[in-house]
Amino acid sequence: MNKKLIRKVRSSFETQFKSKPLVIFSPGRINLIGEHTDYNDGFTFPAAINKGIALAICKSDINVSKVYALNKEEFYEFNSENIKPITDGGWRNYVLGVVSELQNFGKPPGNFNSVFAGNIPGGAGMSSSAALENSFVYGLNNLFELGLTKHEMILVSQKAEHNFVGVKCGVMDQYASMFGVKKSALLLDCRTIESKPYKIDFKEYKLMLINTNVKHDLSETAYNDRRETCEKVSNLLKINALRDASKDDIDALIGKISDEEYQKALYIINENNRVKQFSEAIDNGDIAALGDLLYQSHEGLSAKYKVSCEELDFLVDCAKECPNVLGARMMGGGFGGCTINLVKKNEFKVFKNDIVRKFRTKFKKECSVYNVKLSKGTKIVIN
Ligand code: GLA
């Protein structure tokens, strides 16, 4: 599937710009567990997937850069002096953000021509944004020999998202997309920004993603609000981040913070512990424990951290009723997007048909089901 995408992007580039491009493939990601822990300096367990963005790019000798978004058939031209975010600029802000943050980093790229396209379903919580940022930062770094390390590149991508898209995200998405390892998930420490790859084999179970195909309004504001709450609590505790807090610490704040704030901080502490338990269960081959942790994570995200929605809760409730599903939870920032489910391999189809039908009956709309492979991170595919 990616070969087709890569061919399409390359051929569109060659038709428009009459030259041979450098082609990058940058994947989206899933996250096994550890949601909203990344901006609390905590632990997460993401993996790059076999869906992503293909970018064809080449230097330009005129004084503008050109970008063609093939899926949307939209063309954009800009001059790299005095770059600012565009109101309702959509994908343009990711590209502008990367160029601007490279300039701020003291590594301004030259002008370029580019074409990109992707096969990550939009709004699914599979980080098409990080894939897009990483494809550009990686492409520009190579093309103009800027000499950035992968770690520096993901920080540029993350800043682009903060300052040009307005989401104060953590580093999980950009990290997973850049550093992904085939057939593995990465136990990521978001304080040191180092990870340990775990070969993933769920034995007779496999992952299923179910997309609600909804993205609720204001999800970006709600995301930034969650982050502010976490920072408020850690400031009161005089610690760097909630990673350093225990339940006793936040219990001591009862009366000084609202119950909502207390519950959110408690969720982060619990979720961080769950990531560690999850990695131990993988080490011990305890598949049943993985499922329980997924359900607990969802319960926390929905009832305490309040980032779920009716459609996601419904999908997780249906999963709970099915004996062939070990565990399920919402995945990513929330307020829509996908659930991640651990489903018995030989019952995969039955569960898929069942859930699609139930969702349709309940909401009078469709959900989508995906099967993903854990894959390598951002890379050059044609040089
Ligand atoms: C979004 C953000 C990530 C992370 C997740 C929630 O995907 O971009 O940094 O916070 O939400 O885990």
Q: Please tell me if the CB atom of residue 39 comes closer than 6 angstroms to any atom of ligand 1.
A: yes
Half-sphere exposure of 203 (CA within 13 A, CB side): 9
Ligand 1 center from residue 356 Cα (angstroms): 26
Is residue 173 part of the annotated active site? The answer reads yes
pLDDT for 1 equals 66
C-alpha of residue 77 to centroid of ligand 1, in Å: 30
pLDDT, the chain, mean: 97
Mean pLDDT of 225-235: 98
Q: What is the reported pLDDT for 123?
A: 86
Q: Which atom of ligand 1 is nearest the CA belonging to 223? A: 11
Q: Which of 53, 62, 149 is nearest to 94 (CA)?
A: 53
Query: Is the C-beta atom of 169 inside 6 A of ligand 1?
Result: yes
Taking residues 258-280, what's their average pLDDT?
98
169 Cα–ligand 1 center, Å? 6
Task: Check pocket membership of 28 for ligand 1, CB cut-off 6 A.
Answer: no
Q: What is the pLDDT of residues 52-103, one digit of tens each?
A: 999 999 999 999 999 999 999 999 999 999 999 999 999 999 999 999 999 9
Cβ–ligand 1 distance for 35 under 6 Å, the answer: yes
Q: What is the pLDDT of residue 242?
A: 98
Least confident of 115-119, 121-125, 233-237: 121-125
pLDDT tens profile 118-144: 999 988 999 999 999 999 999 999 999
The whole-number average pLDDT for the span 295-318 is 98
Task: Write down the catalytic residue from 173, 217, 248, 251.
Answer: 173
| Closest approach atom of ligand 1 to CA 44 | 12
pLDDT band at 362 (very low <50, low <70, confident <90, very high): very high
161 lines ligand 1 (CB under 6 A): no
Apex CA 374: angle with CA 30 and CA 126, to 5°?
Answer: 25
Compute the average pLDDT of residues 245-264: 98
| pLDDT above 80: residue 217 | no
Ligand 1 pocket residue status of 173, Cβ below 6 Å: yes
- Whole-model pTM over 0.75: yes
Measured in Å, residue 330 CA sits from the centre of ligand 1 at 12
Residue whose CA lies nearest to ligand 1 atom number 8: 169
Using pLDDT thresholds of 50, 70 and 90, give the confidence band for residue 216.
confident
